[in-house]
């Protein structure tokens, strides 16, 4: 199945769900002349991207009251950032995807990337990667489960990471200090720094609303960050301050989705 056919099928599934209100895996498999396994993967990807809700044996449309205007805008900003990030990944790249809602938005855009090797410390990211038809090689850090970040942390995870080398790290942040670097509420910053240490390119993915937040814990100093991808709400003065540290700043637009 080609990428175009997959995208077309998924678009038609969303259209059908919105028109009918509810669809079954069996009927979709017959309609598209494909397997139920493929349809379940489609529904998983579409649910991850917020386009429908899975139910036993099928899926239903998202109730309108569940989607506020603010949530929709946030989703659009995250998707624009995710698309710009995914465009930087080439076939056969070895990448790390850190836990986080913005980095997770990128997973559904990797279906056309072949031969990827992906390391993550997030069960949510791992499960989403496992749904991709391109079937990337999936590596997990292991380690100690941290309920705050909903990811694995600790010395075991750091040791596993240091036994590999990667082309790119894709990581989010709780905040951005334009003078210092990325910041976080979490005091466990060791794994993030090891991720950056073993990666040739460090790509930070963060919404512009987080830039300028005053958060005490420095996670990644600017000298280890290669690229910052944000949305087009970033102020010009903040962009200039970040670029002074030698960081490439990409402002993704919702129009590019």
The domain ranges of the chain are 3-66, 69-256
pLDDT of residue 83: 92
DSSP for the chain reads --HHHHHHHHHHHHHHHHHHSEEEHHHHHHHHT--HHHHHHHHHHHHHTTS-EEETTEEEPPPGGG--HHHHHHHHHHHHHHHHHHTTPPTT-EEEE-SSHHHHTTGGG-TT--S-EEEES-HHHHHHHHT-TT--EEEE---EEETTTTEEESHHHHHHHHT--EEEEEE--SEEETTTEEEES-S--HHHHHHHHTEEEEEEE--GGGBT---SEEEEEGGG--EEEEETT--HHHHHHHHTTT-EEEEE-GGG-
What are the mean pLDDT values of the chain's consecutive 10-residue runs (257 residues total)? Answer: 70 89 93 92 83 87 58 71 95 95 89 94 89 89 83 93 97 93 84 96 95 87 97 94 97 79
Q: What is the pLDDT of residue 3?
A: 54
Domain 3-66, what fold? Answer: Arc Repressor Mutant, subunit A (1.10.10)
Per-residue pLDDT at 168: 98
Q: What is the pLDDT of residue 136?
A: 93
Q: What is the CATH number of domain 69-256?
A: 3.40.50.1360
pTM score: 0.73
User: What confidence score (pLDDT) does residue 69 get?
Assistant: 47
């Amino acid at each position: 199945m080609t990428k175009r056919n997959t995208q077309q099928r998924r678009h038609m599934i969303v259209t059908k769900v919105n028109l009918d209100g509810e669809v079954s895996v069996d009927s979709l498999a017959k309609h598209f002349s494909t397997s139920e396994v493929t349809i379940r993967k489609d529904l998983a990807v579409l649910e991850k991207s917020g386009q429908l809700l899975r139910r036993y044996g099928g899926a239903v449309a998202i109730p309108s009251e569940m989607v506020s205007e603010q949530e929709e805008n946030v989703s659009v900003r995250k998707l624009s950032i995710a698309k710009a990030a995914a465009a930087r990944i080439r076939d056969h790249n070895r990448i790390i995807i850190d836990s986080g809602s913005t980095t997770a938005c990128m997973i559904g855009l990797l279906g056309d990337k072949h031969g990827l090797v992906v390391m993550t410390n997030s069960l949510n990211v791992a499960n989403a990667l496992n749904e991709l038809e391109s079937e990337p090689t999936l590596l997990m850090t292991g380690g100690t489960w941290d309920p705050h970040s909903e990811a694995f942390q600790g010395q075991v995870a750091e040791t596993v990471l240091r036994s590999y080398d990667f082309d790119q790290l894709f990581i989010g942040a709780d905040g951005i200090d334009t003078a210092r670097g990325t910041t976080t509420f979490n005091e466990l910053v060791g794994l993030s720094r090891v991720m950056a240490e073993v990666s040739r390119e460090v790509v930070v993915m963060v919404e512009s609303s987080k830039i300028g937040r005053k958060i005490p814990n420095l996670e990644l100093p600017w000298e280890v960050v290669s690229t910052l991808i944000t949305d087009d709400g970033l102020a010009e003065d903040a962009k200039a301050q970040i670029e002074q540290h030698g960081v490439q700043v990409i402002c993704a637009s919702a129009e590019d989705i």
